[in-house]
Chain A
Amino acid sequence: MSASITEPSTRQKWSAGILVVTYAIITLLPLVWIIATGFKSSSDSIAYPPKVVFQPTVEGYVNLFTTQTRLSSDAIAEPRENLPWYEQIVREKGNTIVGASRFSERFFNSVIIGFGSTFFAIVLGTTAAYAFSRFRVPLKDDLLFFILSTRMMPPIAVAIPIFLMFRQLGLNDTHAGMILLYTAVNLSLAVWLINGFIDEIPIEYEEAALIDGYTRFQAFYKVVLPQAATGIASTAIFCLIFAWNEYAFAVLLTSGNAQTAPPFIPTIIGVAGQDWPAVAAGATLFLLPVMIFTIFLRKHLLRGITFGAVRK
């Protein structure tokens, strides 16, 4: 029993634990509510008082992925055999499916633009960070600060000229344009974070490699890259999360073709007004990957969100 003076007492631990867990549960409540609403029927979702116990249904998900129209009373009465299960669900509400909704398209756009921009930001960011870390770059500190300062600008302020520029170049509402834009925005984060990770790798490793006859480039990808791999991977996830969640540029610069999910989900409406189970289903599908990443990212979280300004 070497109880140090700074070690909190059991009572302190208990009261601290109870307070934090209470806060965590309050925090979790809206998220649980989103997931739960996705599995409610539309009447359950707007019941008063709000329903905690309900009969789960995938109606919201079916509505999310399909476009429907209201059946006439004759059509409802008309018996039909061998309807697929999802047709049956909407038919019970007096609707019929007339096609696929645009949700999967938007979701797919988010995937393409998210992964595409992350890929380019990481490739360019890693090489630039290596150059900053290992070569004598003129005005290095100024350049690094300039790279960081690009994040201080409100997106709307830059959106005006980018909108004009993209219109000139025919990049408006295209995947290429959005990938280029998000790459640029993520580059600053990537350079800063990866620069920090590479700085931590002892320079002697490369020197040894160079003496063994490696070229500078070989030393970079055979020695430095594997050492920085975990750091680069977590940086990539932060870039992906940014591109995944971004809304301002997406809503201003895209309209149909290249629109990602964040501007789209709030516009999901059913046959009669905003269909909350469908919105919740879309939100759940959209938020879930990020929640999973967050759990994996725990250790690197602080560095990623503060540009490495605070190291844990």
Chain B
Amino acid sequence: MPNSLKDRAARVTPAAMINQVKGLSDRAIAWVFLGPTIIILLAINIFPLIWTIYLSFTNYRVNRPNKDVEFIGLRNYERILSDTDIWITMQATAHFLIWTIVLQVLIGFTLAYLINKKFKGNDLWTTIIVLPMMLSPAVVGNFWTFLYQPQIGLFNYVVGFITGADPSTFSMIGDVPLAPWAIIIVDTWMWTPFVMLICLAGLRSIPDSIYEAAECDCASKWRQFWTITIPMVLPFLMLAVLFRGIENFKMFDLVVQLTGGGPGSITELTSINLKREAFEKWRTGYASAYAVILFVTIFGLASIYVKALNKVKDR
């Protein structure tokens, strides 16, 4: 559209003036405008990815620069896929993912549903609920270790006060059965608002007229909820789950500061495990193969999920 219009403008303009008036041609401007972005993304995103894939076939170690780099084919991959420790970290990650998503969807949807009742001052309270999501996970995670302290921590005190348990007898980040829950609680605290906001957008997108029509047909409130509200919000909810799923699969900062993977390795999620291989054991080639497997997993799961999401949307 603008192109043809400008061509027309150019045609009626004397040749000498075109250069003055037009400045750079559209094609040149497109290149000038897009070039730097594409170059930076290639340099910082694509090139490293290709390098990671290359390294994943070698036995390279960063801390031994003088050693010859050997090409060892798929051996790194074989070792990872047959390593039982990695399956344990995968299980820890899955446990973390499932519970955070279940809790965040339940609480987030409920909150959105309540806020949508448009009570007085809901805007202010929504903003307060949203705050944790905007903060630095590392700094927040570090401070939660203080809240989780057995004797002096606020969390233990409140739990002790409510349940009557002695606050010094349990340690959220020191006890093996509790540590996974310590990170699930903080993650839910931080990210429920995210699910809530998206559900709220979904709820607000439902036109009132649908409910009015249902009311005319004498549908009960309960029936309206299940046949109108839920299906209409579902695509939004699924999108929230997708974003949370990807984010939590790569979760690093919060958990590093909160539990550091411990006690033992009960909260050692894949990212933390990967960091240990790459930057503590310096097994660069091996860690690269690990990274490739993680990326393929995220990408694969996300693609399957997006297909399902599109089906729900089209329905």
Hey, which chain A residues are within 8 Å of B122, CB to CB? Answer: 17, 20
- The docked-state distance in angstroms from the alpha carbon of A312 to that of B125 is 18
Query: Across the interface, do B130 and A203 meet the contact criterion of CB distance under 8 Å?
Result: no
Is residue A96 contacting chain B, with contact meaning CB distance below 8 A? no
Is residue B226 contacting chain A, with contact meaning CB distance below 8 A? no
CB distance from B121 to the nearest CB of A (A): 7
Q: For the complex, count residues of B whose C-beta is within 8 A of A.
A: 107
Q: Which residues of A, 192-220, contact B by the 8 Å Cβ criterion?
A: 203, 206-207, 210-211, 213, 215-218
> In the complex where A17-B122, A203-B1 touch, is A184 in contact with B30 (Cβ < 8 A)?
no
Is residue B109 contacting chain A, with contact meaning CB distance below 8 A? no
- The docked-state distance in angstroms from the alpha carbon of A248 to that of B136 is 11
> In the complex where A17-B119, A135-B30, A262-B139 touch, is A154 in contact with B288 (Cβ < 8 A)?
no
Known contacts A33-B154, A215-B22; can you find 17 more A-B pairs with CB under 8 A? A5-B211, A17-B119, A17-B120, A24-B128, A27-B129, A29-B154, A124-B40, A135-B30, A152-B246, A154-B295, A156-B275, A157-B292, A159-B278, A160-B291, A161-B55, A207-B2, A280-B143
> In the complex where A162-B44, A294-B134 touch, is A20 in contact with B23 (Cβ < 8 A)?
no
Q: For the complex, count residues of A whose C-beta is within 8 A of B.
A: 108
Hey, which chain A residues are within 8 Å of B279, CB to CB? Answer: 159, 252
The 7 A-B residue pairs with the shortest CB-CB distance, nearest first, are A157-B291, A184-B44, A215-B23, A17-B119, A154-B250, A161-B48, A245-B136
The proximity string for A residues 246-283 relative to B, scoring 1 for CB distances below 8 Å and 0 otherwise, is 01100110000000011101100000000010011001
Is residue B146 contacting chain A, with contact meaning CB distance below 8 A? yes
Q: Which residues of B, 234-282, contact A by the 8 Å Cβ criterion?
A: 236, 239, 243, 246, 249-250, 252-253, 256-257, 270-271, 274-275, 278-279
Which of B6, B9, B33, B236 is A130 in contact with, Cβ under 8 Å?
B33
Query: Across the interface, do B143 and A30 meet the contact criterion of CB distance under 8 Å?
Result: yes
Is residue A21 contacting chain B, with contact meaning CB distance below 8 A? yes
Q: Give the interface segment out of B84-92, B96-104, B196-204.
A: B196-204
Is residue B173 contacting chain A, with contact meaning CB distance below 8 A? no
Is residue B118 contacting chain A, with contact meaning CB distance below 8 A? yes
CB distance from A38 to the nearest CB of B (A): 10
Query: Across the interface, do A298 and B127 meet the contact criterion of CB distance under 8 Å?
Result: yes
Is residue B170 contacting chain A, with contact meaning CB distance below 8 A? no
Is residue B57 contacting chain A, with contact meaning CB distance below 8 A? no
Is residue B183 contacting chain A, with contact meaning CB distance below 8 A? no
Hey, which chain B residues are within 8 Å of A37, CB to CB? Answer: 146
Hey, which chain B residues are within 8 Å of A280, CB to CB? Answer: 143, 146
Hey, which chain B residues are within 8 Å of A279, CB to CB? Answer: 142-143, 146
- The docked-state distance in angstroms from the alpha carbon of A37 to that of B313 is 47
Is residue A2 contacting chain B, with contact meaning CB distance below 8 A? no
Is residue B287 contacting chain A, with contact meaning CB distance below 8 A? yes
Is residue A131 contacting chain B, with contact meaning CB distance below 8 A? yes
Residue of B nearest to A276 (CB): B146
Is residue A48 contacting chain B, with contact meaning CB distance below 8 A? yes
Query: Across the interface, do A266 and B146 meet the contact criterion of CB distance under 8 Å?
Result: no
Query: Across the interface, do B208 and A4 meet the contact criterion of CB distance under 8 Å?
Result: yes
Query: Across the interface, do B3 and A136 meet the contact criterion of CB distance under 8 Å?
Result: yes
Query: Across the interface, do A16 and B47 meet the contact criterion of CB distance under 8 Å?
Result: no
- The docked-state distance in angstroms from the alpha carbon of A116 to that of B192 is 31
Is residue A163 contacting chain B, with contact meaning CB distance below 8 A? yes
Q: Which residues of B, 283-299, contact A by the 8 Å Cβ criterion?
A: 284, 287-288, 291-292, 294-295, 298-299
